Amino acid sequence: MAAHISTLSLPRLLVAAKNASLHARWQGVAHSAVRYSTVPVPQEKTFDKILIANRGEIACRVMKTCRMMGIQTVAVHSDVDASAVHVKMADQAVCVGPAPTNQSYLNMDAIMEAVRSTGAQAVHPGYGFLSENKEFARRLAAEGVAFIGPDTHAIQAMGDKIESKLIAKAAQVNTIPGFDGVVETVEDAVRIALDIGYPVMIKASAGGGGKGMRIAWNEEETRDGFRFSTQEAASSFGDSRLLIEKFIDNPRHIEIQVLADKHGNALWLNERECSIQRRNQKVVEEAPSTFLDADTRRAMGEQAVQLAQAVQYSSAGTVEFLVDSHKNFYFLEMNTRLQVEHPITELITGLDLVQQMIRVAKGYPLLHKQEDIPINGWAIESRVYAEDPYKSFGLPSIGRLSQYQEPLNLSNVRVDSGISEGSDISIYYDPMISKLVTYGATRAEALSKMEDALDNYVIRGVTHNIPLLREIITHPRFISGDISTNFLPEVYPDGFNGHQLTAGGQRELLASAAALHVSAQLRAQTFLGTLRVSASSQERRRWDLCVELGGERHPVVVSRTGQTYTVEVGGESLVVSGEWDLASPLLPLKINNTPRMLQCLSRTASGDICLQYLGTSFKVRVLSPLAAELSSFMPEKVPEDTSSILRSPMPGSVVAVSVKPGDTVAEGQEICVIEAMKMQNSMTAAKTGKVKSVHCKAGETVGEGDLLVELE
């Protein structure tokens, strides 16, 4: 602690003191996680002040390195982000507009003004927003402000998927067969698709991150896909141009991190395996890949460097490849920015990519040679999203983080986040909560650490995808490395349903719930101080209970000695011990001497307990045998018939409504389109019927569960 503070200058020390809690957070990171290092090069003067034209975790990530390098930071923010973590972390902050991104984080005029008014010498764009916007880079250059990224030429060349493919071909990089031009109309799209042969991929020329991307297996899907992708591309990138190429079935998505300077030097920093995706968005990433051998790795790395050099690339960038089962690899695209998943590369190589980007932007040559780049150990990243994983592997959820605790007490865990307890996850921005990264000497070690980290991660107030993440990283196919970009739909063909309990797991869950219930009951009888009318406490040592789980009742017998409960359930006896801290969200238990981290999500007086066990939350009800017996007399409350009602599955805005009252719709027919987090989601009829009433219109904002359309 003392050593850390001594490296801070006085003004920074004041900032640190002002944000004591924040400071503690970063301390935590510094102690537990750093496998990469920001080694300042004292004789190298870079910038005095950098503006970070981004928000959330990436803004915080960049600021962290800036601090270590002794660079002042300027945050920009929208109205609603005024008290966001990245704003508090920065030395200076400027509001650049209202919540919608096109009026704030994409508002170049306002951001340029912020650069001028704060005197920032350089701008780090993070990812997304203006990171790959050549116009922004050009305007900065015109004012003599350094853009921490490649120059406009490279952004332009690689930002356009059509042009980039041509350049890649010329640079002798393997490319996917497809049409090297802009697709103008739906009819063009259908014709070209036929030429290439189905399946085809329709994607935004300007895009990235899975937005504006559709796969089509036939003509009808091509038409739909063209329409959706055009709209999404227009709303996400302000550029609706599309291209079409051969879709490679069952591929792996493996990308190479490159780092180049302005002196013609370029390095490849090994690969990242990003095959676990849903709707073309990455969910779990790891470095290195289990699939690549040294030769393929080198071949891919060398092609990536060739491409970078072909466009005089400088700064950090990523060359994405699709790799088929025979280890043939095809160039997909090059991202001319820092990637979301850059931390795993940092952990295995020890380099701080942000620091390198800043150095390169100032014009310094690379410090490393290709042979200096190691693969040390294994790193895995889980993208923790505010999403409901039970709906299409993740539909956005919004809300306020009523409780939030990152698992930074564990070693070899790095959490890159830009939120804290009390933060709002709003409909305006990406619903990512954090990037949870674990590291180990081996993949098994990193995976086991990831399990622990997910179990120790406390998130309340929004629905999150930890259940899905934990299932993925413990799935035998994932563990064996047998993955592809189709992993999720293949493993969960009927959608994700959470962890499926084994008989032993069920016993553990029932026993934990019963013991927790008894410990809460015992406390409810403990009154402190002297009572005028004495309380008659019964010294019970044994509790007969009935635990309901998934509609089934399980008789359970609990007996207690101190903090240890012996629970008889399903013909077995389990010993459950723990601290039984009823205020803590975490419930560290030992079940038959095996440590298990459970979380208590809720506990009511009527015996309902919601426990997170192995990532998934389970609802149980613990009752006395009497209450259980009498419960059977209680009437079932009839839930509303949902097949004739269409409710919004997530908060967002209505883009289009395709029906009106009186229309007859067929099952599966599109009723309306909801846009949330810049993704367009088509809402379809659950049954064939007549439209009774329409409760939404285009342009309206709707909340999760809002009634959209009623069928008769």
Please list the active-site residues: 337
Structure tokens at 390: 């039970």
- Provide the minimum distance between the beta carbon of 221 and another protein in the complex, in angstroms, as a whole number: 44
How far apart CA 356 and CA 685 sit, in angstroms, is 52
Q: Is 99 in the site for another protein (CB under 8 A)?
A: no
Q: Is 527 in the site for another protein (CB under 8 A)?
A: yes
The correct pick among 400, 443, 553, 619 for binding another protein (CB under 8 A) is 400
- Provide the minimum distance between the beta carbon of 536 and another protein in the complex, in angstroms, as a whole number: 5
- Provide the minimum distance between the beta carbon of 630 and another protein in the complex, in angstroms, as a whole number: 6
Q: What is the dihedral of CA 642, 228, 204, 253, to 10 degrees?
A: 30
In the bound state with another protein, the residue whose beta carbon lies nearer, of 21 and 185, is 21
Question: DSSP string of 554-619?
Answer: EEEEEEEETTEEEEEETTEEEEEEE---TT-SEEEEEETTEEEEEEEEEE-TTSEEEEEETTEEEE
Residues 367 and 360 sit within 8 Å (Cβ to Cβ): no
Stretch near another protein under the rule CB under 8 A, chosen from 278-286, 346-354, 366-374, 525-533: 525-533
Q: Which residues pair with 99 in a beta bridge?
A: none
Structure tokens at 61: 């990530």
Q: Is 224 in the site for another protein (CB under 8 A)?
A: no
Structure tokens at 674: 């909801």
Stretch near another protein under the rule CB under 8 A, chosen from 154-162, 175-183, 444-452, 602-610: 602-610
Stretch near another protein under the rule CB under 8 A, chosen from 117-125, 180-188, 418-426, 610-618: 418-426
Q: Is 634 in the site for another protein (CB under 8 A)?
A: yes
**Stated length of the chain:** 712
The correct pick among 538, 593, 594, 642 for binding another protein (CB under 8 A) is 538
Burial label, 75 (beta-carbon count in 10 A; 0-12, 13-18, 19+): buried
Residues 585 and 405 sit within 8 Å (Cβ to Cβ): yes
Stretch near another protein under the rule CB under 8 A, chosen from 211-219, 254-262, 441-449, 624-632: 624-632
The correct pick among 421, 568, 663, 670 for binding another protein (CB under 8 A) is 421
In the bound state with another protein, the residue whose beta carbon lies nearer, of 56 and 251, is 56
Q: Which residues pair with 602 in a beta bridge?
A: 610
Q: Is 584 in the site for another protein (CB under 8 A)?
A: yes
- DSSP class of 79: G
The correct pick among 1, 2, 294, 535 for binding another protein (CB under 8 A) is 535
- Provide the minimum distance between the beta carbon of 693 and another protein in the complex, in angstroms, as a whole number: 23
- Provide the minimum distance between the beta carbon of 132 and another protein in the complex, in angstroms, as a whole number: 32
In the bound state with another protein, the residue whose beta carbon lies nearer, of 83 and 218, is 83
In the bound state with another protein, the residue whose beta carbon lies nearer, of 400 and 443, is 400
- Provide the minimum distance between the beta carbon of 110 and another protein in the complex, in angstroms, as a whole number: 18
Q: Is 581 in the site for another protein (CB under 8 A)?
A: yes
Q: Is 703 in the site for another protein (CB under 8 A)?
A: no
The correct pick among 444, 524, 666, 698 for binding another protein (CB under 8 A) is 524
Token pair 């999404």 is found at: 232
- DSSP class of 183: B
Residues 623 and 666 sit within 8 Å (Cβ to Cβ): no
How far apart CA 18 and CA 360 sit, in angstroms, is 32
The torsion angles phi and psi of 524, rounded to 5 degrees, stand at -65, -15
Binding residues for another protein, rule CB under 8 A, total: 43
Q: Is 531 in the site for another protein (CB under 8 A)?
A: yes
How far apart CA 358 and CA 482 sit, in angstroms, is 37
Of 155, 472, 101, 144, nearest to 285 (Cα)?
A: 472
- DSSP class of 274: E
Q: Is 643 in the site for another protein (CB under 8 A)?
A: no
Q: Is 526 in the site for another protein (CB under 8 A)?
A: yes
- Provide the minimum distance between the beta carbon of 540 and another protein in the complex, in angstroms, as a whole number: 9
Q: Return the half-sphere exposure (C-beta side, CA atoms, 13 A cut-off) of residue 634.
A: 6
User: Which residues lie near another protein (CB under 8 A)?
Assistant: 21, 79, 82-83, 400-402, 420-423, 523-529, 531-533, 535-538, 581-584, 604-607, 623-624, 626-627, 630-631, 633-635, 637
